[in-house]
Structure 1
Amino acid sequence: MIGKTRRWIVGALAALGLASAPALAAAPAPVAPLVLAAASLQESLTEAADAWAKRGHPRPVISFAASSALARQVAAGAPADLFLSADEDWMDDLAKRGLIVPATRADFVGNALVVVAPAGTATRIDFRSPRALSAALGQGPLAMADPDSVPAGRYGKAALVKLGAWDAVAAKVVRAENVRAALALVERGAAPFGIVYATDAQASAKVRVVGVFPPASHPPIRYPLARLKASTNPEAEGFRRFLLSPAARAIFARHGFGRA
């Protein structure tokens, strides 16, 4: 009797195991989060995503563009999980619309603003003299991200206004869709000078820095990140926290970013 009971229990457990096997096999795999990020983060964020994937997570899918364009996409209902902006204004805009999770917002890196020229250029720009600055840049064209909407362009215009050079160069400005497009114009020799972030200059062997804007000439360059309210991907919060970790900060520091 005992033997029959034992065989019945073993059989029942085996049947239960077989019945539950399909359910276990059908458990969904983690889905990669979709990240919308400022164009200037291209190399650094790509490396951070690779580092996150090496920890056993699905590698984040990243879309790089001007912060202004990405913020408008979010406002229009584009599905995404994280937003990384090159300035606070566009993050503020999404916050006012109720499109981010406020508690997840954080400034994670900072940057500097520079003037670049093709690598063979020997020019140096003296920012102490408005006339020297406008004389150099006024030869034009001057490549920069759109100063009406793109963060790098806004910072650049603010600096030129502060230094008294904007009126002299405004007519010769070539407005690019983002900071990397402005960099590309200088790389190709289509513009003798361009205003970009220090990290963009570091990422290119085709340009050299010919001047660094004084930090006081423009608003502080801070990059905020936040999880979007529409996100339902649990991987998004993990990656957001990783970007704020010492390991990720070391990656961004190697690419020239400073503290926010």
Structure 2
Amino acid sequence: AMAVGLAGGMAIVEPVQAENLTIGAAYSLKAAFQEVVPMFESEFGATVNVVYGSSQTLRREVEGGAPMDVLLSAVEDLEKLQKKGLTLNGGPEVYAQTSLVFVMSSASQAMPISFHDLLSERRTRVAIGAFESAAAGPITARALRAVDPSFKDRFRLISATHHDEVIDMIRRGEAEMGLVYRVDAINNSGQVRIIDETPGGNYTPVRFGQAIARTCRDESRAVAEQFTDFFMSPRIQKLLLKYGFEPTTSHEGEKKVAGAAPKVRVN
């Protein structure tokens, strides 16, 4: 962008630095952001820096004062930040959801088993996201506990830091099966295939949301609001479907009120 001023009757053209925006985003958004971020930068003249991590890690970064302007992660973690007064725009806006699925290697010739079959297939190695640090960790623990309360002692579980590592373990033959988000199973270049959509016999939805962080810099507040509006626009919501995210349902036009429940826009 350029700014034009007058000095001694002569026009002076000076460059205007693009607005900078730092976004903390869940790993699951990485594929979609390869398309979304360049679109936003082109249309709004902003320079966007994206920091990827698990939802828990991103939350802890904001709690520690890391300079993030916008946070896109699991709603559960955004709600924790909201309760601590670490978000600026009230409750998180929910933009999509996914579920936990059971996967195996696309190249494997083994007979697929269901999630419940793990009860009798004790020798099967299952790669999972680490309960305390991976994005899918907490929901994985809940799903396994629903099948067998003693799952930690009875299943052959191999922990990974995030979904890419889970998929790599399966690809390398270090695990026969794995548990990942459905959106991550879809965006894996065909390395794994989904063999059970509903672990434990229950649909396990995971909602993703966005919020402006308390650590947002004053000079970035306007462009942060532009991004959150842009991300909730109908065309971006439609684009997310292409990357395996599932739409959510709620009421249109809820106000952003501090302490409010998570909001969902339906377009």
Structures share a fold, TM > 0.5?
A: yes
Bigger proportion of residues as helix = 1
Asked whether the 8 Å contact 1:159–1:218 carries over to 2, the reply is no
- Which residue in 1 is equivalent to 2:180? 196
**TM-score for both structures, normalised by structure 2:** 0.79
Q: Distance in 1 between matches of 2:92 and 2:69?
A: 13
SS at match of 1:224: strand
After superposition, the C-alpha distances for 1:70-92 in whole angstroms (9 at most, x for unaligned) are 1111111111111111x222112
Deviates more, 1:53-62 or 1:33-42: 53-62
Q: Distance in 1 between matches of 2:45 and 2:125?
A: 45
Q: Distance in 1 between matches of 2:150 and 2:128?
A: 12
Does the alignment pair 1:133 with 2:121?
A: no
Asked whether the 8 Å contact 1:156–1:218 carries over to 2, the reply is no
After superposition, the C-alpha distances for 1:30-70 in whole angstroms (9 at most, x for unaligned) are 22311111111110122111221232432421111111111
Please say which structure displays the higher CA radius of gyration.
1
Distance change (3 Å), C-alpha of 1:209 and 1:167:
same
- Which residue in 2 is equivalent to 1:3? none
- Which residue in 1 is equivalent to 2:48? 60
After superposition, the C-alpha distances for 1:152-178 in whole angstroms (9 at most, x for unaligned) are 121122122223376277652222122
**TM-score for both structures, normalised by structure 1:** 0.81
- Which residue in 2 is equivalent to 1:228? 213
- Which residue in 2 is equivalent to 1:78? 66
Asked whether the 8 Å contact 2:88–2:212 carries over to 1, the reply is yes
Asked whether the 8 Å contact 1:143–1:182 carries over to 2, the reply is yes
Match of 2:88, as an amino acid?
V
User: Which of 141, 151, 158 is the matching residue for 1:174?
Assistant: 158
Match of 1:79, as an amino acid?
P
SS at match of 1:184: helix
SS at match of 2:120: helix
Match of 1:71, as an amino acid?
R
Identity %: 24
What is the total number of aligned residue pairs between the two structures? 238
- Which residue in 2 is equivalent to 1:208? 193
Distance change (3 Å), C-alpha of 1:79 and 1:215:
farther
Q: What are structure 1's unaligned runs of at least 5 residues?
A: 1-13
Matches within 5 A, 1:75-114: 75-85=63-73, 87-103=74-90, 105-114=92-101
Shift of 1:179: 2.2
Q: What are structure 2's unaligned runs of at least 5 residues?
A: 1-5, 249-267
Q: Distance in 2 between matches of 1:17 and 1:182?
A: 65
Q: Distance in 2 between matches of 1:221 and 1:46?
A: 22
SS at match of 1:32: strand
Does the alignment pair 1:33 with 2:49?
A: no
Q: Distance in 2 between matches of 1:56 and 1:95?
A: 28
Q: Distance in 1 between matches of 2:156 and 2:199?
A: 22
SS at match of 1:25: strand
Distance change (3 Å), C-alpha of 1:71 and 1:15:
closer
Bigger proportion of residues as strand = 2
Q: Distance in 2 between matches of 1:166 and 1:217?
A: 19
Distance change (3 Å), C-alpha of 1:168 and 1:123:
farther
After superposition, the C-alpha distances for 1:175-217 in whole angstroms (9 at most, x for unaligned) are 2122222222222222111100111111121111121125973
